[in-house]
Amino acid sequence: MGRRALPKIDPTLDLSRHLLTLTELEPPFVASRWFGREAPLEIEVGSGKGLFLTAAAANDPTHNFVGVEIGAKYARFAASRLARRGLNNACMISGDALRFMREFIANDSVAAVHVYFPDPWWKKRHRKRRVMNEGLVADVQRCLVPGGRLHFWTDVEEYFQVTLELLASATRLSGPHPVSERPAEHDLDYRTHFERRMRMHGLPVYRAEFIKPPAGTEPSAATGPFATHAASTNAINANRTNANSSDTNSTGTGAGNPS
């Protein structure tokens, strides 16, 4: 399934409040300076077309949102969605999300990190390029405030399992906590365009949430279905599919199928 061309952006649309490039920033990134207010900060790694970021910013005006996308044309398109709706509590950064998390984000400063349908890098020799790696999960743990959350979704069971193992061995985050699937109320009521596509085709989506415990406490272990079976209990179809598709989602470090 090939990618559809992005719709054209109105050339008169002012993106100055909604689009930054990583190369023009100097660390640290202080969200309160950019947004002009103190508010909980949420970061999306690999925003693609910006469906999640736009919906999240509209649904929770009390939070600030930053999306980071390696594909410049997708970052610009996502920023245009924010600008068209006047969502001044969100912005896009065009650049490498791993570098952004590593070099620009302070300790204990982020309420939530979202990673949805990252590129699975199917070939074994390419898996070192996966965004969910030891460096990122360490930065997620470092950046989250106590009680902050990591949301990770994928359609690839193997990637899901490997990531759960990585988070268990390399971080103190509690989880995985299962995430229930809710019915869509309208045609775009999904976290990403990729989730919409998977669910419309009756294919499984694996979802998990992790929480940073307070300092000095032990993380809680997963209970219920996750204790014995790491695959999300709300996968739509019990049949597993790892079919290789060129339509995989974009991430902060490699091109794929934007969300």
Residue 106 near residue 28 (C-beta atoms within 8 A):
yes
104-128 burial code (b ≥16 CB/10 A, e <16) = bbeeebbbbbbbbbbbbbeeeeeee
Count of Cβ atoms closer than 10 Å to residue 88 Cβ: 16
| DSSP string for 69-114 | ES-HHHHHHHHHHHHHTT-TTEEEEES-HHHHHHHH--TT-EEEEE
Query: Is 119 labeled as catalytic in the residue annotation?
Result: yes
- CB 138, CB 172: distance < 8 Å: no
Burial of 9 (0-12, 13-18, 19+ CB in 10 A): middle
Catalytic residue among 10, 60, 119, 139: 119
Cβ atoms 106, 43 nearer than 8 A: no
Contact 12, 225 (CB under 8 A): no
The residues that are catalytic are: 119
